[in-house]
Structure 1
Amino acid sequence: MKCMRESRGQSLSWERIELCNDGKCQLRMTEMDAPLSTPCNIQICEVTCDSFRIVWDMTPEDTARATHFFIDLSRKESRDPNRFKHRDVPTKLVAKAVPLPMAVRGHWFLSPRTEYCVAVQTAVRQPDGEYLVSEWSQVVEFCTGDYAMEHLQQLLDKAKGSAGRLLKFSVFYRNQHPDYFDYVRKECGGLMRPALKDCSGSHGSPINGKLQGVFFSCNTEFDTGLPPKDSPYGPLRFQIPAGHLLNPNISLYFADFYCMYTAYHYVVLVLAPVGSEGDTFCRTRLPMLDLASNPFLTYTDPQRPGEEPLYCHASDVILEVLFTEPVHLDQGSVEQISGHHQLKSLTTANAKKDPSCKVCNISVGR
């Protein structure tokens, strides 16, 4: 026998219980599951580039009853979306109830430095497999972090496999349009001042939008050993002897490895004078490279009196070298390049990394 009645707003059931001592039947009233309260005071903590911990307030009764948590995570709408990135589909995670805060990682391919929205429900799984659920909590927003040192080390290991043999070079160079050099001379006293690194390359690189510097190239042509005749950045080239930027008083750091849907790859390096503000910034965020022994950019002391130091660069990747201090035009020379400079649209300014490339991506997002 089973009958139902409502009492004081709660659903109650009567169940038949057989008492073994006298064989008589007795009715016992049991309280069915009452509604779950809505989770509140959602807090996100310990955020990394691909994980976070989440905690919220529940009543003691709900804490004891809850068997599962539902978590709804979606990327926050952006006014300037990355058109190269795969479209995110809002995803709901069903997790067994655990003591809070709960770690969330691996269930989604979270992207570094990306804004997300999250809401939660608590739930009790019923004997028939259905769930009694609370209302959704309020939506909270948070942003994932940059690559940690361990992630950059993974990226560095991948970059080493693409570097190729080392080639000699003698100058760093920087191509720009005439207006740039006119501005440097007239408004900056001849100083090329550091500018904030844009957001090109890997989204999780710690220097993007945070470290200032002046970009230089050092790649040479195979047949001449000289800088290439063409450039996507402009028809004027500033050249400076390599020793001004690369010497024993300089710290060298690895910052990024990426491609833009092309067969060739870019490696971003940072050169910072020892003890400088840039050096301090990079020391806890980027892998440091040995000046004399690394696969990308090396300085070797003279072997005999009167000899010049030896400077070498990787042959199979395009190096983008960020020098963190101002550089004066008087330290080098500005000349017209002999080739034809290409359209500015072919530069890497704010260009996004190919998220499908197996050569330059790691498993913690793009």
Structure 2
Amino acid sequence: DYAKEHLAQLQEKAELIAGRMLRFSVFYRNQHKEYFQHVRYPHPRSAPHPPPRDHPALAGAVHGSPTSGMLHGIFFSCNTEFNTGQPPQDSPYGRYRFQIPAQRLFNPNTNLYFADFYCMYTAYHYVVLVLAPKGSSGDLFCRERLPQLDISSNKFLTCCVEEGELVYRHAQDSILEVIYTEPVDLSLGVLGEISGHQLMSLSTANAKKDPSCKTCNISVGR
């Protein structure tokens, strides 16, 4: 696995291609209809149950990263279409999308960490980031293993106070995969169906990292 200093090298490489920062306002995740039905109604309808929550699962498919198979988290996206400023209408992960206001997951009480940078034999590059509420078990896990980013000044994902309001920006030229380490109450967001297509070619579910790419690989002496 990558040591912290190796991740710092990967971070530097990722910063070189991150591109300009675009504003966004929501985090979102796509799944199949059955997934959200299970999250909303994990118990028989007649049984009393707590508000529906999306619970962290093991965050896999992070290649060689210290988070692989060890960190529990929920994957979110935040990339927008530059011409609309809105999330794309297509997704590789399912036709149903949960959207949540950015400030619910990312605010001055959250720490941000860099976890990975990779591609899968395509022109797209992915940056994996972790959002962890300060002092949470996920935060303590990441603090020991991952480079921490300044939430208001980095090349990937920022949260800044401007004119008294929190303003959010993401890197335009990388696909961000954001892992949130805590359960998320579905009542804090909106669930709906997207109008676009399911683009399986962009799925990272069984990602195979391209070891020959000079943009996103480092030599770690192994």
**TM class by smaller structure:** over 0.9
Q: C-alpha displacement at 1:365, in angstroms? A: 6.3
1:301-325 Cα deviation digits (max 9, x unpaired): 1324xxx311000000000000000
Is 1:217 matched with 2:72? no
Is 1:168 matched with 2:23? yes
Is 1:248 matched with 2:92? no
Partner of 1:336: 193
**Structure 1 counterpart SS, 2:37:** helix
Is 1:230 matched with 2:90? yes
1:92-132 Cα deviation digits (max 9, x unpaired): xxxxxxxxxxxxxxxxxxxxxxxxxxxxxxxxxxxxxxxxx
Partner of 2:204: 348
**Structure 2 counterpart SS, 1:264:** coil
Q: Structure 2-normalised TM-score?
A: 0.93
Is 1:179 matched with 2:41? no
Is 1:268 matched with 2:128? yes
Give distance in 2, aligned partners of 1:327 and 1:162.
31
Q: C-alpha displacement at 1:201, in angstroms? A: 4.1
1:31-67 Cα deviation digits (max 9, x unpaired): xxxxxxxxxxxxxxxxxxxxxxxxxxxxxxxxxxxxx
With a CA cutoff of 8 Å and minimum separation of 6, indicate the structure with the bigger relative contact order.
Answer: 2
Q: C-alpha displacement at 1:256, in angstroms? A: 0.1
- List gaps (5 residues or longer) in structure 2: 44-50
Q: How does 1:186-335 map to 2 (within 5 A)?
A: 186-187=41-42, 189-198=51-60, 200-202=61-63, 204-304=64-164, 308-335=165-192
Q: Which has the higher strand share?
A: 1
Q: How many residues align?
A: 215
**Structure 1 counterpart SS, 2:128:** strand
Give distance in 1, aligned partners of 2:73 and 2:205.
14
Provide the alpha-carbon RMSD of the alignment: 1.4
Q: C-alpha displacement at 1:350, in angstroms? A: 2.9
TM superposition outliers: structure 1 runs of 4+ over 3 Å: none
Q: Structure 1-normalised TM-score?
A: 0.57
Q: Which has the larger radius of gyration?
A: 1
Letter in 1 for 2:12: D
Report % sequence identity: 66
